[in-house]
Amino acid sequence: MKIGYPCVNETLECSAARTFRLASYTPERVEEAVAANLACLQQILEWNVAHGLLFFRMGSGIVPFGSHEINTFPWQTHFAAEFRALGDFIKAHDMRISFHPDQFVVLNSPDANIVRRSVEELVYQGSMLDLMGLDSTAKLQIHAGGAYGDKGSALARWVETFHTMVPEAVKVRLVVENDDRLYSLRECLSLHDETGVPILFDNFHHECLNHGEPMREALRLAAATWHPTRDGVLMMDYSSQSVGERKGKHTDMLVPELFRGFVTDLDGLDVDMMLEIKDKEASAVRALGILRELGVAAPAPASYEPPVFAPRPVLTDAEGNPTPATKPRKKPVKAATASAAADEATVTAATASPKPRRPRKAATPSQDLPN
């Protein structure tokens, strides 16, 4: 089992999502930003390997305006060696990599322009995995999209887009995630039946929206959609409900008791688990420690020195249950783009044409979404 976290390492001082405003676009700015982002990404991967975290979700903004028509800089060839070196490092350490394109990527929109831009964004992000030389077990994770008043028709549009507009190089990487508002595991299974696309299972979303399937059964249904060699083992997102917050709000920190209980529910099922928890690598390190305690993960090397994280305030309610922390562990990384916000956004936002404050965002919403 591999444990990971999305996009941003809060321990390191660098950002892998440096960008600039569309109005300030120049090829020189692209070159400078991509060079810095790839250098930071290398640092993050090295930190992760040093601490046994072998699953990582890269941010969408590695190449500013990567799928936008304005970007004519030949970044694919200019940075071919850097991408290849990252891929070699990933393969040498048996890491698992994914992308989660932002919520504007909607394959079942009735708006043909949104669908076209969505496919272009998938091509852009998939091309980075291709440049790294990673096989089809490195995935592009998206949601089913909106219902638009008729789920049946919306699902049919998703299937039609997949078969007619999505390139083969993207098809082999695409996975669909069950969400917490519209498309449950059962409905994602129907997409799998029509397209063969694997289901990336989100335990928290399943708790919020299901058809009565117990967690163990749901996990196995999702795992059965993954081809063992073409797709690899089941990828899943893990999180839990933040006490006292709106339904669907992720916790700020790992809740050890809940995590141990979930690992028990796995009952030996092999998964690669992405922790969608606010303190990112801190919770991932703690989760790996729990797996080692349970004998699910290999022991740490004798020379291993675990990182020391500044403590977050731990608040409790009247019954002693943890409540969300009120302060961050450290000043957050200032980054203008990344895809970690995708699961935090509402499905409603994911299904509509973006409604930004500035017109420039409509063309490149991924450049303005927070982590």
pTM: 0.83
Band of pLDDT at residue 99, cut at 50, 70 and 90: very high
Task: Tell me the domains of the chain and their CATH numbers.
Answer: 2-300+330-367 (3.20.20.150)
Q: What is the pLDDT of residues 296-336, one digit of tens each?
A: 999 999 999 999 997 765 556 666 666 554 444 444 333 33
State how far the Cα of 51 lies from the Cα of 319, in Å rounded to an integer.
35
The one-letter code for the residue type at 336 is A
State how far the Cα of 341 lies from the Cα of 276, in Å rounded to an integer.
10
Contact 172, 136 (CB under 8 A): yes
State how far the Cα of 146 lies from the Cα of 339, in Å rounded to an integer.
19
CA distances to 97, 98, 223, 240, 277 from 232, in Å: 12, 12, 10, 25, 24
Which residue carries 């409603």 as its tokens?
A: 348
Comparing 332 with 260, the larger pLDDT belongs to: 260
Q: What is the pLDDT of residues 184-212, one digit of tens each?
A: 999 999 999 999 999 999 999 999 999 99
State how far the Cα of 168 lies from the Cα of 95, in Å rounded to an integer.
24
Q: Residue 25: CB partners within 8 Å, gap ≥ 6?
A: 65, 70, 71
